[in-house]
């Protein structure tokens, strides 16, 4: 009894200078990039700002798939500016899938929580502290950003895009009853071991991959919390949602419907 009390007030509870104190949480942000030379410095700047202001411990892992536009060069400059304990470069030779990018990134992640997001500024790092607070509040295994609930929303979508989005989400909710309002969103916080387990089980690609993660999470009884986010789409004008993508989305949805 006396020995326990003595150890509780010992220096072990002070923050250790290197690595991570046993009870301190660290958040690893995985940023898969392809041709993000313009956006990468900006997203990193916003991430650093958000984490510094909120005081959470973090690292940013940039997984560049051999971008021809010089993304890697910019990433190296950022590493020099912010330090290699905050910015980790773990590039790959060529464009491989998102799932493998996450696996690759996680191998080098020293955090116990993983944040996945898009590097094109559609996801704003200011929501990350809200994700973290939500996670602590409900002790959730996953926190998912949603565009469809609360004051979540989108900027830059015309009526056609909004209709497609809502119809797709409606059909998904009816068929899969997933317990989360935004299934195709990719701005999420996961416990590291949860993400590892889920990636091992998922086989789809693209939008459907993100959907499958949530569906499998429910199957494994993981808890999911939601935080409304704003999604600023600056890319939509250049890359319209094509018939191809819609068809592959429906195929993926029906596959999940029939197999889970």
Minimum Å gap between C-beta 177 and other proteins is: 7
Identify the residue whose tokens are 């119809």. 167
Closer Cβ to other proteins, 54 or 112, answer by number: 54
Residues 110-169 that bind other proteins (CB under 8 A): 121, 124, 148, 151-157, 159, 162-163, 165-167, 169
Pick the piece of the chain touching other proteins (CB under 8 A) from 95-103, 111-119, 171-179, 195-203: 171-179
The two beta strands, 87-89 and 153-155, are unpaired
Is the Cβ–Cβ distance between 218 and 177 less than 8 Å?
Answer: no
Cα separation of 100 and 246, whole Å? 23
Does residue 175 interact with other proteins by CB under 8 A?
Answer: yes
Burial class (CB in 10 A: 0-12, 13-18, 19+), 7: exposed
The two beta strands, 224-228 and 153-155, are unpaired
Pick the piece of the chain touching other proteins (CB under 8 A) from 34-42, 52-60, 99-107, 130-138: 34-42
Pick the piece of the chain touching other proteins (CB under 8 A) from 20-28, 41-49, 84-92, 240-248: 41-49
Largest CA distance in the chain: 70
Return the DSSP state at 13.
G
The two beta strands, 188-191 and 113-116, are antiparallel
CB atoms within 10 A of CB 24: 12
Candidate residues 21, 25, 34, 41; the one interacting with other proteins per rule CB under 8 A: 41
Q: Can you give the length of the chain in residues?
A: 260
Minimum Å gap between C-beta 230 and other proteins is: 4
Minimum Å gap between C-beta 99 and other proteins is: 22
The site map against other proteins for 209-238 (x = CB under 8 A) is ---------------------xxx------
Residues 43-102 that bind other proteins (CB under 8 A): 45-46, 74, 77-78, 80-81
Minimum Å gap between C-beta 60 and other proteins is: 15
Look at residues 239, 248, 226, 173 and name the one whose alpha carbon lies nearest to residue 35: 239
Question: What residues line the site for other proteins (CB under 8 A)?
Answer: 38, 41-42, 45-46, 74, 77-78, 80-81, 121, 124, 148, 151-157, 159, 162-163, 165-167, 169-170, 175-177, 230-232, 256-260
């Amino acid at each position: 009894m006396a020995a326990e009390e003595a150890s509780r007030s010992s220096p072990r509870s002070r923050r250790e200078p290197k690595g991570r104190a046993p009870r301190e949480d660290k958040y690893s942000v995985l940023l898969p990039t392809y041709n993000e030379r313009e956006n990468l410095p900006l997203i990193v700047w916003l991430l650093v700002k958000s984490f510094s202001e909120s005081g959470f411990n973090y690292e940013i892992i940039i997984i560049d798939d051999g971008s021809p536009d010089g993304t890697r060069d910019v990433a190296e400059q950022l590493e020099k500016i912010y330090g290699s304990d905050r910015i980790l470069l773990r590039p790959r030779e060529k464009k491989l899938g998102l799932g493998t990018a996450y696996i690759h990134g996680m191998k080098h992640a020293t955090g116990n929580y993983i944040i996945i997001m898009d590097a094109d500024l559609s996801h704003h790092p200011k929501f990350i502290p809200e994700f973290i607070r939500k996670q602590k509040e409900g002790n959730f295994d996953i926190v998912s950003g949603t565009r469809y609930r609360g004051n979540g929303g989108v900027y830059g979508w015309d009526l056609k895009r909004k209709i497609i989005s809502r119809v797709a989400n409606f059909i998904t909710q009816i068929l899969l009853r997933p317990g989360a309002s935004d299934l195709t969103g990719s701005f999420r916080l996961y416990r590291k071991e949860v993400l590892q387990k889920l990636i091992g089980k998922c086989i789809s690609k693209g939008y459907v991959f993100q959907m499958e993660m949530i569906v499998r999470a429910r199957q494994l009884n993981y808890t999911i919390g939601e935080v409304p986010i704003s999604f600023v789409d600056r890319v939509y004008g250049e890359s319209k949602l094509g018939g191809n993508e819609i068809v592959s989305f429906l195929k993926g949805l029906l596959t999940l419907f029939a197999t889970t």
